Amino acid sequence: MKATITAIGGFVPSSILSNEMISRMVETTGEWIVKRTGIKERRLAKDENQGTSDLACAAIENLFETYDIDRSEIDGLVLATATPDHLLTPTASKVCEKSGFTNAFGFDLNAACSGFLYALEMATTMIESGRYEKVVVVGADKMSSIVDYEDRNTCILFGDGAGAVLLEKTESEYGMMKSILRTDGSGTSALLVPAGGSKLPATAQTIADKKHFVNQEGAFVFKRAVESMSNVSRDVLASNELTVDDIDWVVPHQANLRIINAVSETLNIAAEKVKVNIDRYGNTTSATIPLCLWDFAADFKEGQNILITTFGAGFSWGATCLKWGVMRNLRNLQAIKTEKELEHDLVCS
Ligand code: UT7
């Protein structure tokens, strides 16, 4: 019994925060941001009361509008997020209710930028156990809710968005292969939101000290990201008895284009095989990988091998391989972006 992706959806808010706009907010330039990160713009959820659950629901709606599947058949939802709607009550509960998953369990999983990969692995093993057949896996984050737009070290990096996949059981050769997930708590202080949790609950002082925003030692995290993603990718290829030449596409976490390029060069993978959309969305944390799968779904052909790798706060990191399988029938052909539309998007951005 294997698990395979049979449907994909995605959502990014319509409001764009361009480099030019950021350069009017903090001391930076569009040129610096593009050169050091590859980011040209990011999307922000600006609608009043729009939380992570709304982004997740919009991505799920896009999936169900695009592919032919009955919501009542969904067994479970694993929602990867580092920015839940509330500290108490899982965001997944609201998402299950609003998405019409009436016969399903739902829970949140926080592994920061590795959340989607961890969630994919949890859902895969649930399906491989034979106890569940259809699990929706979502990566969704409203990073703008924890970013200080007066801090040039971080505000240039992050954006809001969500991506969703349907994972189903299959007896075919397609689907998820072996994964490797890793955690190292010694990296905790290098990338975190210091206050608002049980360790340092909110007070007037924590607010005054701006401790509810993302704090990052960028250069240190950068080095660990390149090293960890490269090593874990090599290890996961070996454990699946694959070589770099067997890989058709790489879908990496989108934190910094220089990290993506350094990992690709270390692994000796041609740049044409590496999917990149950080220029348009920035780092959407749990959402980068499913948004990338969604953006480039039209390129993936049955039987092709895809390598996914990620690194994030914690530290948490990992990699997996999958053989792209047969997707569910489309409800609406227009909903899947064609290569031409993507080219058009890039020219416009
Ligand atoms: O997704 C979770 C994992 N996160 C990551 O993987 C992010 C990893 N880190 C990074 O992407 C990069 O470290 C950053 C993009 C955050 C920073 O780039 P960097 O090349 O590592 O810059 P740096 O932090 O080493 O800073 C170099 C210089 C500093 O000035 P001095 O000390 O050399 O005078 C910074 O103050 O660049 C300065 N700087 C900026 N200058 C213009 C930092 N941010 C900016 C800015 N605009 N926005």
Q: Is 30 in the pocket of ligand 1 (CB under 6 A)?
A: no
Domain residue extents for the chain? 2-176+327-335, 178-323
DSSP 98-120: HHT-TT-EEEEE--GGGHHHHHH
CA 261 to chain centre: 18
Q: Is 256 in the pocket of ligand 1 (CB under 6 A)?
A: yes
Q: Is 57 a catalytic residue?
A: no
pLDDT in tens, 49-67: 899 999 999 999 999 999 9
Q: Which of 276, 270, 269, 225 is closest to 251 using CA atoms?
A: 276
Neighbours of 255 (CB within 10 A): 28
CATH of 178-323, one of 1.10.10.60, 3.20.20.100, 3.40.47.10, 3.40.50.300: 3.40.47.10
The torsion region of residue 89 among left (phi > 0), alpha (psi -120 to 50) and beta comes to left
Distance 156 CA to ligand 1 centre (A): 10
15-18 and 41-44 strand pairing: antiparallel
pLDDT in tens, 20-49: 999 999 999 999 999 999 999 999 999 888
CATH fold match for the domains 2-176+327-335 and 178-323: yes
Q: Is 222 in the pocket of ligand 1 (CB under 6 A)?
A: yes
Report the DSSP beta bridge partners of residue 252.
309
Q: Is 293 in the pocket of ligand 1 (CB under 6 A)?
A: no
Is CATH 3.50.50.60 correct for 2-176+327-335? no
- Tell me, what's the pLDDT at 6? 98
Distance 252 CA to ligand 1 centre (A): 20
pLDDT level of residue 179 (50, 70, 90 thresholds): very high
pLDDT in tens, 94-133: 999 999 999 999 999 999 999 999 999 999 999 999 999 9
Q: Is 155 a catalytic residue?
A: no
